[in-house]
Amino acid sequence: MLASFSTAAVGFFARPVGGVLFGHFGDRLGRKRTLVIALLLMGVATTLIGFLPTYASIGIWAAVALFVLRICQGLAVGGQWGGAVLLATEYAPPSKRGFYGSFAQMGVPIGVVLGNVSFLVLAAAMSADAFNAWGWRIPFLASIILIGLAMYIQLKLEDTPAFRRLEQMAQERQEAEGDEQPERSPMLEVIREHPKQILLAAGAFFVVNGSFYIMITGILDYGTRDLGLTRSSMLFAVLISSIFQIFFIPAFSLLSDRMGRRPVYLAGAVLLGLWAFPMFWLVDTANIVLISVALVVGQMFLSMMYGPQAALFSEMFSRKVRYSGASLGYQLAAVFAGGLAPIIMVSLLDWTGTSVSVSLYIFAMAVLTFFCVYMVTETYEDEMAEDVAEEEGAAAGRQGTMTTS
């Protein structure tokens, strides 16, 4: 099981690289074009997994090919989250950035629902031998839809007003100075000038990402291997909680537009940290109804953070480095929280023999997230204050240049 989770974790370790690479181009070339490239990479890589030869056909090269495609998926996720979130929040009016950003966040539970439904339907429609032989390929092949989605975005959407203003300012600055000055890399700039914001963003996402993969991945192994439940029943519990999460995310995002990001986010960290103990008490009953209740409540508290997160991360960075900063903070946490959480959960259960150790693990992550969000400045009512200051500074610089001339 550890080897299986490690294979899945490979993609997570590529995410920060994708965040660096796509973040740079997202701040240089635009949100839309970068998102399109990331979606194409994800669509191609995932579809190709459906065409992979088996180990019986080509031996170890089948595993190598899977490893490479998982790396490509990780690179793509590292880039597409930032692009999707910024397309949503940078188009939003200031009073609705949380709600607009929630639509990008809802893609995660919707994806979980689609994945689990496809597995349940295929498992019910064919024999185990047929599923192992070729049925498992169908969901991967269906990912070719992502390529069509990328083309739609490329043809139908314009880049965000914030990025278009950034391009206009760069052109005006170039005309005023009379020559082309090489611009610093947005990624290097955000690392050099905003390291605190990057670390706080990563910490803010820690319990969200770690607990999420415990509740949708680690819990499947725990329920089937330790509690003796069927995989279908555990998938059903995860499916139910994910359906509820689709509604929780926009609801708490709307609340953050009224109350602020920090109060909602901090409350979610406290409640999820405390719920970690009764959640596993309910799971340990091996009653599928109680397990479903445990996961639904857990996803509700998690959504209090994941919903407002898109707007929070967008507001933490100026538009010049927003794609780079938001992507890097998000993906750093994804490696050490989401990628390792199921592995750590299995190891803790094996080492201690009790689910209390997993509850303590979630509680510790919640403490870290609470501290990081507490240190973040509230900006939900600001008109992207850093952007306004940036524009005013650029205008003053241009006026000074003209006066000197």
We report the CATH number of the domain holding residue 140 as: 1.20.1250.20
Q: What pLDDT was estimated at residue 368?
A: 96
Residue 134 lies in a domain: yes
Instruction: For residues 66 and 70, give the distance between their C-alpha atoms in angstroms, rounded to a whole number.
Output: 6
CA-only gyration radius of the chain, Å? 22
Question: Quick one: which H or E segment has residue 229?
Answer: none
| DSSP letter, residue 353 | S
Instruction: For residues 342 and 351, give the distance between their C-alpha atoms in angstroms, rounded to a whole number.
Output: 14
For 289, what's the count of Cα atoms within 13 Å in the CB-facing half-sphere? 0
Residues with Cβ within 8 Å of 62's Cβ and at least 6 positions away in sequence, in order, are: 52, 53, 54, 55
Residue 27 domain boundaries: 2-160+192-388
Q: What pLDDT was estimated at residue 400?
A: 42
Q: Say what the pTM is.
A: 0.82
Question: Side chain identity at 126, as an amino acid letter?
Answer: M
Instruction: For residues 360 and 103, give the distance between their C-alpha atoms in angstroms, rounded to a whole number.
Output: 31
Residue 175 lies in a domain: no
Residue 343 lies in a domain: yes
Structure tokens at 51: 């065409």
Residue 379 lies in a domain: yes
Structure tokens at 300: 């509700």
Instruction: For residues 108 and 330, give the distance between their C-alpha atoms in angstroms, rounded to a whole number.
Output: 14
Instruction: For residues 108 and 121, give the distance between their C-alpha atoms in angstroms, rounded to a whole number.
Output: 20
Residue 179 lies in a domain: no
Instruction: For residues 321 and 311, give the distance between their C-alpha atoms in angstroms, rounded to a whole number.
Output: 15
pLDDT along the chain (405 residues), means of 10: 67 79 79 85 91 88 89 87 83 86 89 84 84 86 85 76 70 61 70 87 93 91 89 89 94 93 95 97 95 96 94 84 84 83 90 94 96 86 51 42 38
Q: What pLDDT was estimated at residue 398?
A: 40
Q: How many domains does the chain have?
A: 1
* CA distances (Å), origin 117, targets 63, 79, 217: 26, 27, 15
Angle between helices 60-89 and 97-105 (to 10 degrees): 160
Instruction: For residues 257 and 245, give the distance between their C-alpha atoms in angstroms, rounded to a whole number.
Output: 18
Provide the greatest CA pair distance for the chain. 80
The residue with tokens 């083309």 is: 151
CA angle 84, 143, 238 (to 5 degrees): 80
* CA distances (Å), origin 196, targets 184, 275, 313, 370: 19, 29, 13, 15
Instruction: For residues 359 and 163, give the distance between their C-alpha atoms in angstroms, rounded to a whole number.
Output: 43
Residue 177 lies in a domain: no
Task: Yes or no: say if 24 and 142 are a contact pair by the CB < 8 Å rule.
Answer: no
Residue 242 lies in a domain: yes
Q: What pLDDT was estimated at residue 396?
A: 39
